Structure 1
Amino acid sequence: MKTIAILGANGRIARIAETMLLEQSDVKLNLFMHTDNELPESILNNGRVTVFTGDAKNPDDVSEAIAGADEVYANLGPNKGSSEDIVPMAKAVVESMDKAGIKRLVWISSLGIYGEVPGEFGAWNARELGDYLDNYRKAADRIEESDLDYTIIRPAWLTDKDEVDYETTAKGELFRGTEASRKSVAAEVVKILMNPEEESRASIGMDKPGTDGDKPQWILSASTEHLSE
């Protein structure tokens, strides 16, 4: 039986991944969240799920949640706070995993942290995300400086489309596409967790093929609708 600790278990990508992982009969989940439990009953009532609450910036809280885990999946982000919070979260995860002797980490980050998004879309993305990119880069640097077997995933702008359709790019390659579904990101997370030898010590970009443009299509459509009102 494999035990996977999921930090930020209330996240929308995380909840999809949790459902996918629980379809595997040999997987147990340690689910860590801040305070409010928003998980559906189908997850909460599963006998292979244990729920933990705490502060992801606190190594002691993180250590409690990952104790006994084989792998860690971090779907963390600011909880009604500043994007600066992601940096101490990364430090707490590395410290706690080192202390516990756990090596495998899947870490969700953001497109654009390396300045890898080209053209007008890259400029728009940088304007929209601002300091968020700087802080997520600092967090990624902390992960990459560690001796963990990490995979950093940098998704494009996210949609709720019910589809698994994506391509990946490596660190050092220009990012492609403007959007990706949360379900696609969850599918990649699950694939890596179930095959931990894949994409080890790698940072990968994720997008839906054929979505190149100056902005994600759903943002362009919303703008058009707004202008036509």
Structure 2
Amino acid sequence: MKILILGAAGQISRMLTNELRNKTDHSIVLYARNGIKRLTTVDDSREVIFDGDFKSKDKLVDAMKNVDLVYINDMGDDESTKTIIDAMHDTGVRRVIAASVLGIYDEVPGAFGEWNKRMIGGSPRMRSQIESARKLENSNLDYTLLRLTWLYNQAGNTNYLITQKGEPFKGAQVTRQAVTQLIMDIIEEKSAKYHKNSLGVGEPGTDWSKPSFY
């Protein structure tokens, strides 16, 4: 399999790259702004770096050649999301896993939901996340949308909890390591096949009024 990581300099993207390097034989395309300066390859026979941003359709199309799956690390700009979708349509790439945020459907209940709204609910970035999700869900692509709760790092903690679209969101926090594990599970199909689905991603046992690190 050939996997394109868009936003490859991000923390989750870097973790995902390392997991793919160490645990699979998949080819990896790393795409990031100033990617040549910010990223390095380990095995040039299966890794390549592309410089570009999410609004450069020609560069995206070039990076998508012979790709089987795209991972989008950030959907905070809906025009960029549209460009990515258009490039996928042009190249015939259909499978995409995309990282979004909790609250895009007003699905977070209780005190945590109110706290989350105060923190990010009215921001322009949230409005772009909502529009990005809408565009992806209406794109006819084979998508998995990941609605991530508040993120932190904890080595070895790969525990995640999934909620479906239409269900109340659970979990005030989740580790980037757990999100990486979920993406790997979806890629390798070790968990259920969440194709054309929007998944809430939290950590078990963290149904609190806010994350522990706030």
TM-score, scaled to structure 1 = 0.87
Match of 2:31 in 1: 32
- Are the aligned partners of 1:126 and 1:133 in contact in 2 as well (CA < 8 Å)? no
Larger radius of gyration: 1
- Given the alignment of the two structures, is residue 45 of structure 1 paired with residue 42 of structure 2, yes or no? yes
Give the whole-Å Cα distance in 2 for the aligned partners of 1:63 and 1:195: 26
The one-letter amino acid paired with 2:10 is G
Spell out structure 1 runs of 4+ moving beyond 4 A.
none
Q: 1:133 aligns with which of 103, 113, 126?
A: 126
Match of 2:203 in 1: 208
Unaligned runs of 5+ in 2: none
The percentage of aligned residue pairs carrying the same residue is 34
- RMSD value, Cα: 1.5
Name whichever structure is richer in helix by fraction.
Answer: 1
The one-letter amino acid paired with 1:59 is K
- Are the aligned partners of 1:74 and 1:107 in contact in 2 as well (CA < 8 Å)? yes
Please give the secondary structure, in 2, of the residue aligned with 1:158: strand
- Are the aligned partners of 1:97 and 1:103 in contact in 2 as well (CA < 8 Å)? yes
Match of 2:109 in 1: 118
The one-letter amino acid paired with 1:65 is A
Q: Structure 2 vs 1, CA of residues 25 and 216 (structure 1 numbering), >3 Å: closer, same or farther?
A: closer
Match of 1:64 in 2: 62
> How many residues were matched structurally?
208
TM-score, scaled to structure 2 = 0.92
Give the whole-Å Cα distance in 2 for the aligned partners of 1:192 and 1:119: 30
Match of 1:105 in 2: 96
- Given the alignment of the two structures, is residue 165 of structure 1 paired with residue 159 of structure 2, yes or no? yes
Q: Structure 2 vs 1, CA of residues 25 and 118 (structure 1 numbering), >3 Å: closer, same or farther?
A: closer
Match of 1:92 in 2: 83
